Structure 1
């Protein structure tokens, strides 16, 4: 089976197209060949909790805990100290 890594949510039309071609759809964040997207403050504000935690860990925070808004603020402060 072929795998299509697509950023979620995937539209009904795109799902139908890919499934029609024999693809299994998996969230793009699980793509082993993915390149890190450019992170901006806007991206951070829209990120899911798990993604924020993963980036915090990647940037040296050992055990990030707290409300999602606090985690996003912490990540923004780490990645954009001048902001």
Structure 2
């Protein structure tokens, strides 16, 4: 394996076919949990192809909260003092709305 190949931070688990596809592009696979902050994360099992280097913009309305991914919801909840946000996406959205938009 060549050390000068570019690195692909990939969310695991992945299939053998997905691994072959990524390696065929000349990329070296490293588990996404070891990715440095701000690195592109490849999630071959994601339903959408929205990959982002930077965190989502803070929601300005309750409707904006409904567009956030789970990872962004967890980050915003932690930013508002929730120590260990857990639950399904709809529950996390409602929790964040209650914290950010209580007097609307």
Q: TM-score range by the shorter chain?
A: 0.5 to 0.7
Which of these residues, 74, 77, 82, is aligned with residue 95 of structure 2? Answer: 74
Which one scores higher on RCO, CA 8 angstroms, separation ≥ 6?
A: 1
User: Does residue 1:47 correspond to 2:68, yes or no?
Assistant: yes
SS at match of 2:76: helix
Native 8 Å contact 2:59 2:65 kept in 1: no
For the aligned residue pairs, the C-alpha RMSD in angstroms reads 2.6
Deviations 1:44-67 (A, max 9, x none): 011100000000000000000011
Greater share of residues in helix: 1
- Using the size of structure 1 for normalisation, the TM-score is 0.56
Q: Please, which runs of 5 or more residues in structure 2 have no aligned partner? A: 1-47
Distance 1:35 1:68 in 2: 15
User: Does residue 1:56 correspond to 2:77, yes or no?
Assistant: yes
Tell me which structure has the larger Cα radius of gyration.
2
Give the alignment of 1:32-43 within 5 angstroms.
Answer: 36-43=57-64
Deviant stretches of 4+, over 6 Å: none
Number of positions where the alignment pairs a residue of Structure 1 with one of Structure 2: 58
Would the alpha carbon gap of residues 43 and 71 (structure 1) be closer, same or farther in structure 2, given more than 3 Å must change?
same
